[in-house]
């Protein structure tokens, strides 16, 4: 059974539900006690970077990752939640020495990304907490691969950069246009293990929770959505304007 799961994760479904499940966790974190503060911090940061121009910010977050807080938030989210907790089994292709131990060729290695991501000797005593500016304020952890949610090494996820960008753009666009409001009667479970609806699943999804989106400015929402629609219609090339 575990073998079958490993093959499915490794070959079929690199991108299967991973973005969706991680994106849902963005909203869950924005519905926590500090969620409102983080939304305003990101909003203010983007307004500063893009001179208060919402449409320009809305377009640009798809093309560049200028908000250091936004980048750190997504990095921390991926560290906190290894939605594929056990990385598919891989075999070593050559002998190597690691921490004084010789690892022979042909050995099966299974990386427990969830455990590695919460290693207190590396991330510190607050490793189990979600600290969105962790990678901003702690240089000792702010280096590749940052966390093990994409795996590591030559067989790591090929879509790391694409995934980071999609999640960053989703977070920024949400906070630019909306206030994410929690539903006090259906709060999300944000514990990095207990959040999972079904821990047998190939990709872990968060248990259902309640929330709503309140437009910051309805006319601006309409404007940005029509910008997106037209960009798709033309040739996805509104980037040219800003490069
Ligand atoms: C948050 C989003 C994602 C996560 C957490 C994720 C996670 C992973 C993991 C854990 C692996 C196995 C890595 C290893 O064995 O070391 C993997 C492999 C892979 N992923 Fe992703 N992935 C994500 C998004 C995507 C997307 C969007 C795509 C495609 C568009 C994709 C394509 C692939 C491919 C092709 C592989 C196989 C690489 C290989 O076998 O050499 N992934 N991913
Ligand atoms: C992702 O981007 C970094 C920084 O530009 C680059 O060094 C790395 O090779 C990229 N990774 C992949 C898998 O394309």
Domain ranges (residues) in the chain: 2-233
**Residue 160 CA to ligand 2 centre (angstroms):** 8
Per-position b or e across 154-177, b if 16+ CB within 10 A of its CB: eeebeebeebbbbbbbbbbbbbbb
- Distance separating alpha carbons of residues 21 and 13, to the nearest angstrom: 13
Among residues 67, 76, 74, which one has the least CA distance to residue 138?
76
- Distance separating alpha carbons of residues 99 and 209, to the nearest angstrom: 43
Strand, coil or helix: 204:
coil
CB 134 within 8 A of CB 72: yes
Cis peptide before 68 (omega within 30 of 0): no
Binding pocket residue ranges, ligand 1, CB within 6 Å: 10, 14-15, 18-19, 22, 83-84, 87-88, 90, 149-152, 155-159, 162-163
How high is the pLDDT of residue 154?
Answer: 86
How high is the pLDDT of residue 163?
Answer: 95
How high is the pLDDT of residue 238?
Answer: 46
**Residue 92 CA to ligand 1 centre (angstroms):** 19
Query: Residue 214 belongs to what H/E stretch?
Result: strand 211-215
Tokens 């968060």 locate to: 206
**Residue 204 CA to ligand 1 centre (angstroms):** 14
Long-range contact set of residues 98-102: C-beta below 8 Å, sequence gap at least 24: none
pLDDT > 80? residue 7: no
Q: Give the Cβ contact number of residue 21 at 10 Å.
A: 20
* Residues 106-165 pLDDT 10s: 999 999 999 999 999 999 999 999 999 999 999 999 999 999 999 998 889 999 999 999
**Residue 157 CA to ligand 1 centre (angstroms):** 3
CATH of domain 2-233: 1.10.630.10
- Distance separating alpha carbons of residues 57 and 47, to the nearest angstrom: 7
* Residues 17-62 pLDDT 10s: 899 999 999 999 999 999 999 999 999 999 999 999 999 999 999 9
Give yes or no for residue 161 CB within 6 A of ligand 2: yes
- Distance separating alpha carbons of residues 195 and 190, to the nearest angstrom: 5
Band the pLDDT of 15: cuts 50, 70, 90.
low
Band the pLDDT of 241: cuts 50, 70, 90.
very low
- Distance separating alpha carbons of residues 155 and 23, to the nearest angstrom: 23
- Distance separating alpha carbons of residues 73 and 100, to the nearest angstrom: 35
Q: Give the chain's radius of gyration (CA, Å).
A: 19
Give yes or no for residue 162 CB within 6 A of ligand 2: no
Mean pLDDT is lowest, of 42-46, 98-102, 214-218, for: 98-102
Cα 188 to chain centroid distance, Å, stands at: 17
For the CA of 145, the nearest ligand: 2
DSSP state of 88: P
For the CA of 150, the nearest ligand: 1
pLDDT > 60? residue 11: no
* Residues 68-97 pLDDT 10s: 999 999 999 999 999 999 998 999 999 999
Beta 101-103 vs 96-98: how paired, if at all? antiparallel
Give yes or no for residue 227 CB within 6 A of ligand 2: no
Give yes or no for residue 160 CB within 6 A of ligand 2: yes
DSSP state of 153: G
237 or 200, greater pLDDT = 200
């Amino acid at each position: 059974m575990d073998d079958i799961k490993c093959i499915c994760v490794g070959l079929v479904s690199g991108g299967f539900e991973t973005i969706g499940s991680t994106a849902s966790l963005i909203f869950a974190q924005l519905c926590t006690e500090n969620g409102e503060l983080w939304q305003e911090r990101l909003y203010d940061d983007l307004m500063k970077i893009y001179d208060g121009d919402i449409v320009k910010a809305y377009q640009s977050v798809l093309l560049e990752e200028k908000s250091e807080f936004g980048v750190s938030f997504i990095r921390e989210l991926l560290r906190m939640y290894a939605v594929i907790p056990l990385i598919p089994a891989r075999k070593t292709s050559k002998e190597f020495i690691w921490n004084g131990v010789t690892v022979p060729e042909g050995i099966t290695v299974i990386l427990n990304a969830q455990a590695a991501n919460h290693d207190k000797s590396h991330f510190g005593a607050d490793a189990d907490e979600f600290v969105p500016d962790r990678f901003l304020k702690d240089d000792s952890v702010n280096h590749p691969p940052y966390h093990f949610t994409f795996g590591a090494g030559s067989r790591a996820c090929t879509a790391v950069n694409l995934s980071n960008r999609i999640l960053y753009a989703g977070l920024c666009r949400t906070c630019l246009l909306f206030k994410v409001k929690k539903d006090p009667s259906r709060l999300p479970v944000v514990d990095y293990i207990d959040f999972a609806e079904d821990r047998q699943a190939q990709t872990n999804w968060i248990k259902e929770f309640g929330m709503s989106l309140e437009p910051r400015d309805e006319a601006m929402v309409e404007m940005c959505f029509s910008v997106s629609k037209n960009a798709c219609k033309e040739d996805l090339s509104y980037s040219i304007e800003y490069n």
